[in-house]
Amino acid sequence: MNLRKRVIQFAEVLLFTLKYLDLGGVLLSKNIDILLNHCNVPLKKLLINCLKKKRHVEALIEFCMRNRTLKYLGINRYLDYWDLDDDYRKVEEYVTVIPYERIVVNC
């Protein structure tokens, strides 16, 4: 089974009660667009590595518009975000972008 199918399966089995998802150190963050396009969980906080690809940003915006529950996006490489052009900054219209360290939960 290829990685795309596994990411889709993962997105589909997430519990509907899930409010916080940390993908900051996971290989899955490279396929965050696939995950968000197939995820219907009402997340309030999402942690990811970075927003370097336009398809990731577009998927995040679509997720925010579709679910309307995401309040905070924690980015692990926060400085990378500020190097992006204005198209990528549109994310801030839908979710509050903060450094990963401010919302990570260590259990």
Residue 74 to residues 17, 46, 92, 94, 100: CA-CA distances in angstroms?
20, 6, 12, 13, 4
Q: Does the residue 70 lie in any domain? A: yes
Q: Does the residue 86 lie in any domain? A: yes
Q: Does the residue 69 lie in any domain? A: yes
Q: Does the residue 57 lie in any domain? A: yes
More confident residue, 51 or 19: 19
Domain holding 37, by residue range, is 3-102
Q: What is the pLDDT of residues 22-66, one digit of tens each?
A: 887 777 778 899 999 999 999 999 998 877 788 988 999 999 999
Q: What confidence score (pLDDT) does residue 100 get? A: 82
Q: Does the residue 95 lie in any domain? A: yes
Q: Does the residue 55 lie in any domain? A: yes
Q: Does the residue 107 lie in any domain? A: no
Q: What confidence score (pLDDT) does residue 53 get? A: 82
Q: What confidence score (pLDDT) does residue 13 get? A: 95
More confident residue, 47 or 80: 47
The count of domains in the chain is 1
Q: What is the pLDDT of residues 82-95, one digit of tens each?
A: 555 666 678 889 99
Flag whether pLDDT at 77 surpasses 70: no
Q: What is the 3-state secondary structure (H, E, C) of the chain?
A: CCHHHHHHHHHHHCCCCCCEEECCCCHHHHHHHHHHHHCCCCCCEEEECCCCCHHHHHHHHHHHHHHCCCCEEEECCHHHHHCCCHHHHHHHHCCEEEEHHHCCCCC
Q: What confidence score (pLDDT) does residue 51 get? A: 77
Cβ partners under 8 Å of residue 44, min gap 6: 19, 20, 69, 70, 71, 72
pTM of this prediction? Answer: 0.85
